[in-house]
């Protein structure tokens, strides 16, 4: 046996990970044909859109797709054909938190992984390297192997690898071009190590070999959960300190700067905010909590659970600060929410702090004017309907106005809440905004984005995370 030279790749799942990751592989590996498949026809149609109106917004992505689509990059709904033709299969399907049943609210829902795995077993007619790209609980590869071996035709061999993705939305293309590391986990058998070598060779088209880490399967699976848990823990730690700053007069930026100078701590990921969002942090920590509980490690589970609880506390603490500052009532007041995406440079709204804030404001019977430069209107209504199940959508639509610019959203408002750190919110014409608002005019900066001193001089009453009022 020797490592297979990969010539055809299929990626099952054309989402935020599968799409950009495999588009970059196609661009960097012109000798490999890459097909990205998905059951979602609308998504695939958008990936094939002639005007490049792709289904996800990610800076630089259009250029990558434009450079190789139709040459060695293809998007298709024909999952079976993609599987049959490929020698390496990325499984990049969604693994959301389970909504009901055993482990509901904590465990990963592995239904999509299982269905994709069963499809591979059903249609494969030759040997395949099957790569977990999705974030999965530790030892998922074992379940995949059991399913594959029980269902596949006897002359097919499957080698399973774990290759978790560490890209961050908003910087995905740069993260993929210059990854801190590529992690590949395999069984430490001759076949497993060969498969690992085959995938390493794909990445080595552009990633320096010393950045390609090869480890055992279970270490690789756990490392992804651990990395996200540690990142989220840093945010919850700085946010916990921000509450102390607000109560004492210390300034969270100064504290973060001071502690970040310690080379053991480092300056990154120490920005206080209204809380983390996105599809991964909360889900992956809860997954770790569930894993710890199932391993009979309740203290370990409680430790990680606290990171998520702190995040929820930060969001509700911020919403309460808005209400308290507006003389303890926001009923019938117009509140402007700037930003709906969970972070800047993405249209993704999953677990966005803006959703929680708007839900809390709606409960207080406020009127909302909302503006986000990327998120589509239909997505906003869907998210708000899910977040407020007791409010009929017609009522939500009466209370929430979606605007097409910050200026429009701020007109006639009592307060502005900055929920997403879009750069354009930094350069708003604040003088003009001030004139158009009811007085006193309040700004609540949930992302430490605006110049507090400048806005205060204009006349705004500014509240920021981790600082007392000036
Ligand atoms: P996503 O929901 O955007 O995309 C998943 C896609 O898989 C969907 O389009 C869905 O239709 C498709 N799919 C599901 N089952 C399928 C099947 N059987 N056959 C074909 N297509 C199928 O999800 P995502 O954000 O791309 O995340 C994918 C995985 O990567 C998750 O496990 C996630 O935790 C992990 N991850 C996400 C990020 C991120 O920033 N979004 C970063 C790192 C890792």
Element (H, E) at 464: strand 461-464
d(Cα 38, Cα 92) in Å, to the nearest integer? Answer: 10
Residue closest via CA to ligand 1's atom 23 equals 94
Q: Which of 406, 469, 444 has the alpha carbon at shortest distance from 273?
A: 444
Q: Is 97 in the pocket of ligand 1 (CB under 6 A)?
A: no
Among 38, 117, 163, residue to substitute to test ligand 1 (most atoms within 8 Å of Cβ): 38
Among 16, 54, 232, 348, residue to substitute to test ligand 1 (most atoms within 8 Å of Cβ): 16
d(Cα 304, Cα 87) in Å, to the nearest integer? Answer: 39
pLDDT of residue 361: 98
Q: Could you give the percent of the chain with pLDDT greater than 90? A: 98
Whole-angstrom CA distances from 98 to 56, 65, 107, 222, 286 are 24, 33, 6, 19, 10
Q: Is 112 in the pocket of ligand 1 (CB under 6 A)?
A: yes
- Taking only Cα atoms into account, the Rg of the chain, rounded to an integer number of angstroms, comes to 24
Alpha carbon of 113 to ligand 1 centroid (Å): 10
Alpha carbon of 14 to ligand 1 centroid (Å): 7
Of 280, 388, 403, 410, the catalytic one is 280
pLDDT of residue 197: 98
Residue closest via CA to ligand 1's atom 28 equals 94
pTM over 0.90: yes
pLDDT of residue 155: 85
Q: Is 93 in the pocket of ligand 1 (CB under 6 A)?
A: yes
Q: Is 94 in the pocket of ligand 1 (CB under 6 A)?
A: yes
The pLDDT tens digits of the residues spanning 163-174 come to 999 999 999 999
Mean pLDDT, the chain, integer? 97
Q: Are 451 and 465 in contact (CB under 8 A)?
A: no
Alpha carbon of 12 to ligand 1 centroid (Å): 9
Show the domains of the chain with their CATH numbers: 8-207 (3.40.50.720), 308-464 (3.40.50.720)
The pLDDT tens digits of the residues spanning 136-171 come to 999 999 999 999 999 888 889 999 999 999 999 999
Q: Which of 273, 209, 289, 277 has the alpha carbon at shortest distance from 240?
A: 273
pLDDT of residue 151: 86
Here the tokens at position 387 are 């977040």
Residue 240 assigned ligand-binding role: no
Q: Is 280 a catalytic residue?
A: yes
Q: Is 339 left (phi over 0), alpha (psi -120 to 50) or beta?
A: left
Confidence of residue 78 (pLDDT cuts 50, 70, 90): very high
| Cα end-to-end span (Å), the chain | 70
- Looking at ligand 1, which atom is closest to the CA of residue 112? 15
pLDDT of residue 49: 98
Q: Say how many C-beta atoms besides its own lie within 10 A of residue 297's C-beta.
A: 13
Residue 38 assigned ligand-binding role: yes
């Amino acid at each position: 046996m020797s490592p297979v030279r990969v010539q055809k790749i299929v990626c099952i799942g054309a989402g935020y990970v599968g799409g950009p990751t495999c588009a970059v592989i196609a661009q960097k590996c012109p000798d490999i044909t890459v097909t990205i498949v998905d059951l979602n026809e609308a998504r695939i149609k958008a990936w094939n859109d002639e005007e490049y109106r792709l289904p996800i917004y990610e800076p630089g992505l259009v250029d990558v797709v434009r450079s190789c689509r139709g040459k060695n990059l293809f998007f298709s709904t024909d999952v079976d054909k993609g599987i049959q033709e490929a020698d390496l299969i990325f499984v990049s399907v969604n693994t959301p938190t389970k909504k009901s049943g055993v482990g509901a609210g904590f465990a990963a829902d592995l239904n999509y992984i299982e269905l994709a795995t069963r499809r591979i077993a059903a249609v494969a007619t030759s040997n395949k390297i099957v790569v977990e790209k999705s974030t999965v609980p530790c030892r998922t590869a074992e379940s995949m192997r059991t399913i594959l071996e029980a269902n596949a035709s006897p002359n097919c061999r499957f080698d399973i690898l774990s290759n978790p993705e560490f890209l961050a939305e908003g910087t995905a293309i740069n993260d993929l071009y210059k990854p801190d590391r590529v992690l590949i986990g395999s069984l430490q058998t001759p076949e497993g190590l060969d498969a690992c070598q085959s995938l390493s060779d794909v990445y080595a088209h552009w990633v320096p070999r010393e950045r390609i880490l090869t480890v055992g399967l279970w270490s690789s699976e756990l490392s992804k959960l651990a990395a996200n848990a540690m990142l989220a823990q840093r945010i919850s730690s700085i946010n916990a300190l921000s509450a102390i700053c607000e109560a004492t007069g210390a300034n969270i930026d100064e504290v973060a700067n001071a502690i970040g100078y310690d080379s053991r701590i480092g300056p990154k990921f120490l920005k206080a905010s209204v809380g983390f969002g996105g599809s991964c942090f909360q889900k992956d920590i809860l997954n770790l909590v569930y894993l710890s509980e199932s391993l009979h490690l309740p203290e370990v589970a409680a430790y990680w659970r606290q990171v998520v609880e702190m995040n929820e506390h930060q969001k509700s603490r911020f919403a309460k600060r808005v209400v308290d500052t507006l003389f303890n009532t926001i009923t019938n007041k117009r509140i402007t929410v700037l930003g709906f995406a969970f972070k800047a440079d993405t249209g993704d709204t999953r677990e966005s702090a803006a959703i929680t804030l708007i839900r809390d404001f709606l409960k207080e019977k406020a009127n909302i004017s909302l503006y986000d430069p990327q998120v589509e209107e239909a997505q906003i209504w869907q998210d708000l309907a899910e977040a407020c199940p007791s409010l009929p959508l017609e009522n939500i639509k009466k209370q929430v106005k979606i605007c097409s610019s910050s200026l429009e959203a701020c007109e006639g408002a009592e307060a502005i809440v900055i929920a997403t750190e879009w750069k354009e919110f930094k350069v708003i014409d604040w003088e003009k905004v001030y004139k158009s608002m009811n007085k006193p005019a309040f700004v609540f900066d949930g992302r430490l984005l605006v110049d507090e001193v400048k806005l205060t001089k204009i006349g705004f009453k500014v509240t920021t995370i981790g600082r007392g009022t000036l």
